[in-house]
Amino acid sequence: MSNVMFAAAPVAFAQAMMVFHPDPAEAGQEIEVPSGQRVTWVDAIHDAQGSEGNAMRFRFLAPSISGRKPIDSEAALADIAWLCENFALARIPNIGPQVNQIVVSLMDQEIPFGEADDTVTQYFDAFNITNGTCELELFYD
């Protein structure tokens, strides 16, 4: 079961939120993901708590998730899993409190984290870090 969100929702921020932007060598570089779409890393947000402890959120610009011929949601969510495993894990800090959860999101337009905009399409999924791999965290009602 995967999780899909189509508009950013207001978020309560932890006081210790830190935003990491791509290293200048990575800024603006496109990453090709399994669906064939090209995404660009926007930022990583490390805040105090997620549902499984310390969380780090990786946000990517992905214009192909909307428009006249968007990729389907299943392909987008497979790309998110690939980005967790092949991109985000390598960028988790190894000092300080350990990150227990990675949240990866794709957005068709760049917006500030936590702002709501019903014109922006977003997909996201959360992963627990288990034995050095991304394990999909299932949400239940």
Evaluate whether residue 11 is within a structural domain: no
Tell if the pTM clears 0.75, that is, is over it: yes
Evaluate whether residue 3 is within a structural domain: no
Evaluate whether residue 8 is within a structural domain: no
Nearest to 123 by CA among 55, 47, 52, 39: 39
Evaluate whether residue 12 is within a structural domain: no
pLDDT by residue, tens only, the chain of 141 residues = 333 333 333 333 333 557 666 676 676 789 999 999 999 999 888 875 655 578 899 999 999 999 999 999 999 999 999 999 999 999 998 877 788 899 999 999 999 988 889 999 999 999 999 999 999 987 654
d(CA 39, CA 64): 9
State the pLDDT at residue 51: 59
Q: Write out the residue range of the structural domain in which residue 25 sits.
A: 18-136
Largest CA distance in the chain: 44
Evaluate whether residue 47 is within a structural domain: yes
Strands 30-32 and 18-20: unpaired
Q: Give burial (CB, 10 Å; 0-12/13-18/19+) of 103.
A: buried
Q: For the chain, what is the domain count? A: 1
